[in-house]
Amino acid sequence: MSKAFTRETDSDSDGDEEGAPPALPAGGKNYITRAGYERLRAELFALIDEERPRIVEVVHWAASNGDRSENGDYLYGKKRLREIDRRIRFLTKRLEIAEVVDPSVHHGKDQVFFGATVTYCDEAGTETTVTIRGIDETDNSQGQVSWVSPVAQALLKAREGDEVRLMTPTGWRQIEVLAVSYPAPLAD
């Protein structure tokens, strides 16, 4: 079948495609740190103010070259514009519902809340340290987990010395909270 008779969809299904950021829990809030919020906001403005206008210019130039059906610059540009527009819609929605949380308000406390860095030990004696972050700002290579992840859900509200149950793919595990810390408040 000729490509002329196929239709690419440009649906608003942000998050349905593979590799998309995870969805928020139903009725849940989009907790995020100030740094995470600013990073998403900077990405949004870079897309709107820099990348999208640049791609629009390329598409306009490519369209002026004539036959669009075999024009790689035009076809790639249109595809890239759809990707950019999808990301802009996603970021706009996420920033609209974002609830910025300052973890430093819990500095010096031993109970686990959003933004805590928690060291815990499993039944085998293996120690792990994680920092609980927003769903849009986690970086597993930095030991950050989303506040909606199973480990974060098990740890939230626990205190140093508490044992909590963590559901894993292999079944329930007991983990013990060894240490809880928060960033120090910024001086004004």
Q: Do 92 and 108 sit in the same domain of this protein?
A: no
**At residue 117, does pLDDT exceed 80?**
yes
pLDDT of residue 67: 73
* pLDDT tens digit sequence for 118-130: 999 998 899 999 9
In a domain, 52, yes or no: yes
Q: Do 69 and 130 sit in the same domain of this protein?
A: no
> Domain boundary at 82, 100, 118, which?
100
**At residue 186, does pLDDT exceed 80?**
no
What is the rounded average pLDDT of the residues 43-55?
96
> Domain boundary at 47, 71, 100, which?
100
Which CATH number does the domain housing residue 147 bear? 3.10.50.30
Which CATH number does the domain housing residue 57 bear? 1.10.287.180
> Domain boundary at 41, 71, 100, which?
100
Domain of 55? 29-100
pLDDT of residue 68: 74
Q: Do 123 and 164 sit in the same domain of this protein?
A: yes
In a domain, 7, yes or no: no
In a domain, 142, yes or no: yes
**At residue 1, does pLDDT exceed 50?**
no
**What domain count does the chain have?**
2
Of 78, 67, 158, nearest in space to 119 by CA: 158
What is the rounded average pLDDT of the residues 28-44?
91
